[in-house]
C-alpha cells in the first residue's frame, strides 16, 4: 500500500496562527493572527481576537467623516505592534472594491484606504468586517523559526470564525476546527 506524503504548505497566507501556551510575548499571548501575506520576504497578519475599548467612531471622528450612529459602535481591534497609527479593514469579499482592496482568498479581502471607511460610516461598506489598528510582521525566516520553536499552531482560516464568532471564542473555535481542545494543550513544548 502506498503512503501519501503530507501536503507541504509553502505559504501560510489565509491561515490562522494560534499562539501556543508557551509563547512568552505579551503582545501575542492567547492571540489568533490571520495571515494576509507570507512569502520569502516575510509575513504580515492581523490579530483578530484582541478588541480594544475604542469604538470605530474614534476613527470616523478623527477623519471628520459623517456617520450613522449604529455604524460607529463596533470596537476596534489591536492588529499588532507595527504602525499602530494605521488602520486596516479585514472584510468579506464583495462585488464592491475600494482604492486599496486586496483579495486574500475567495472569501476574505483586506483594504487600507480611507474610501472604505467613508462607506462603512454610512452603512454602505462590506457586510462583515473588522477594523484594526496596526499589524503584525515577521522578517524573512522569522515566522519559520517561531514555528520550529512551537510558538504557533497553524490552522486553515475560516471566514466564519473571523466575522461570525464572538471575539473571546475565536481561539477555541480555530482550535476546534482541527479537532483540538485548547484546554488540553500543555505549556511544555516538545519535538517528535
User: Considering the domain boundaries, does residue 7 fall inside one?
Assistant: no
- Cα separation, 111 vs 52, in Å, equals 20
Instruction: Say which CATH number the domain at 27 has.
Output: 3.40.1740.10
Range of the domain at 36: 15-182
User: Considering the domain boundaries, does residue 6 fall inside one?
Assistant: no
Q: What is the pLDDT of residues 81-97, one digit of tens each?
A: 999 989 999 999 998 88
pLDDT for the residue 147: 93
Contact 72, 121 (CB under 8 A): yes
C-alpha angle 44/179/10, rounded to 5°? 35
Q: What is the pLDDT of residues 113-163, one digit of tens each?
A: 999 999 999 999 999 999 999 999 999 999 999 999 999 999 999 999 999
User: Considering the domain boundaries, does residue 1 fall inside one?
Assistant: no
User: Considering the domain boundaries, does residue 73 fall inside one?
Assistant: yes
pTM (2 d.p.): 0.89
Is beta strand 75-78 parallel, antiparallel or unpaired with respect to 51-55? antiparallel
User: Considering the domain boundaries, does residue 150 fall inside one?
Assistant: yes
User: Considering the domain boundaries, does residue 176 fall inside one?
Assistant: yes
Structurally, how many domains does the chain consist of? Answer: 1
User: Considering the domain boundaries, does residue 82 fall inside one?
Assistant: yes
User: Considering the domain boundaries, does residue 121 fall inside one?
Assistant: yes
Amino acid at each position: 500500500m502506498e503512503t501519501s506524503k503530507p501536503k507541504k504548505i509553502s505559504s501560510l497566507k489565509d491561515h490562522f496562527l494560534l499562539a501556543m501556551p508557551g509563547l512568552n510575548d505579551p503582545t501575542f499571548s492567547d492571540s489568533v493572527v490571520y495571515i494576509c501575506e507570507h512569502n520569502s520576504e516575510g509575513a504580515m497578519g492581523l490579530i483578530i481576537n484582541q478588541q480594544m475599548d475604542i469604538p470605530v467612531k474614534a476613527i470616523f471622528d478623527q477623519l471628520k467623516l459623517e456617520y450613522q450612529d449604529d455604524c460607529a459602535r463596533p470596537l476596534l481591534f489591536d492588529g499588532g505592534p507595527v504602525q499602530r497609527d494605521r488602520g486596516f479593514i479585514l472584510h468579506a469579499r464583495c462585488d464592491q472594491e475600494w482604492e486599496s482592496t486586496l483579495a486574500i482568498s475567495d472569501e476574505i479581502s483586506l483594504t487600507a484606504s480611507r474610501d472604505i471607511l467613508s462607506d462603512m460610516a454610512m452603512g454602505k461598506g462590506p457586510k462583515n468586517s473588522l477594523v484594526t489598528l496596526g499589524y503584525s510582521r515577521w522578517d524573512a525566516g522569522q515566522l519559520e523559526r517561531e514555528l520550529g520553536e512551537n510558538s504557533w499552531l497553524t490552522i486553515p482560516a475560516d471566514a466564519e470564525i473571523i466575522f461570525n464568532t464572538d471575539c473571546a471564542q475565536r481561539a477555541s473555535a480555530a482550535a476546534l476546527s482541527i479537532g483540538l481542545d485548547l484546554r488540553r494543550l500543555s505549556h511544555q513544548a516538545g519535538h517528535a
